[in-house]
Structure 1
Amino acid sequence: MKGMAEIQVSVEIDAQIDNVWNIVSDIDNEPKFWKGTKEIRNISKNDNMVNREITIAFRDQKCMQEVKLYPKEKIEALFTKGVIVGSKIITLTAKDKKTILDVKWDIKLSGMMGMFTGMIKKHIQSGTEQALQKIKEEIER
């Protein structure tokens, strides 16, 4: 898609994939690690699919998300409505006794906000780096 901001951040965590999955798959706990997510309101849960409304730090905007969990493999969050359009995909890969946690964003701001995509990209990049660092510290302590 034109004007999309792609962000990719990875961290190696000194823990088995099960331990990492237990933390990252607790998606209701997201604001604890992701400072860009202020609040979460689940609308429906169905097996590994969650429809929810999140309030993001950017002007307290509300976005609708469809989150699909693939146990011990990945979490796919699609932004379906709101100021952000696109996806955030968290992937887990086992490596020896460690886990690689990888986050890939492919997003843009919708409508007139599109001109701020570049500006918000820096915020999301640093927010993602901080979140992965917090997750890593939480798991390794």
Structure 2
Amino acid sequence: MKELKFARSIEINSKPDVIYKVITDIPRIPDFWHGTREINKIGENRYDVKFAFPSRAVSTFEFDRNSFIFIQNYIKGPFTGYTKNTIKYDGNKSILTTEWNIKLGPSLILFSRRLQGHFESGAENALKRIKEFVESNAGE
């Protein structure tokens, strides 16, 4: 299995609790993360994830409200691993960071170089959409 690891960050002019509320709204994830088309609950903390490319996965989620950490674990599908979103606050601005640590399944290994760039670009665009949403006061 081929591992893909990277992190991206963005500064958002908002308090962390406002950002956290937005990023942990599971049904709204596809609004920001366009590689995800749909997420449906299928059990206790188990979700069916339909991707923009023709594939599905099973995910679980971890919430740490006190530390402003939100983790999506991919436990079954074309890749496994996690995405970890963390918010740090310095008193007047927040930094939202997304960290990816996934392992591609056999069907995707040949495309690992292209997928790395695609996932990184998608993460950057998702962070920009979250920033725009929150700073437009729609996140309040």
Q: How does the TM-score come out when normalised to structure 2?
A: 0.90
Question: Partners of 2:41 and 2:113 in 1: how far apart?
Answer: 29
Letter in 1 for 2:65: P
Instruction: Say whether 1:123 aligns with 2:122.
Output: no
When structure 1 is superposed on structure 2, of 128-137 and 102-111 the one drifting more is 102-111
**Which residue in the other structure is 2:29 paired with?**
30
Give the deviation of 1:57 after TM superposition: 1.5
Structure ranking higher in helix proportion: 1
Counterpart amino acid of 2:69? K
In structure 2, list runs of 5 or more residues that go unmatched: none
Q: Percent identity?
A: 28
SS of the counterpart of 2:2?
A: coil
1:24-80 deviation digits (Å, cap 9, x = unpaired) = 1112100101110011111134xxxx210101122x200111111111511111110
Q: Which whole-Å CA distance do the structure 2 matches of 1:24 and 1:93 have between them? A: 14
- Quick check: 1:13 aligned with 2:26? no
Distance in structure 2 (CA, Å) of the matches to 1:115 and 1:86: 18
Structure 1 unaligned regions, length at least 5: none
User: CA–CA distance in 1 between the matches of 2:78 and 2:2?
Assistant: 14
Following TM superposition, where does structure 1 have runs of at least 4 consecutive aligned residues deviating by more than 6 angstroms? none
2:59 pairs with 1:69 = no
Aligned residues: 135
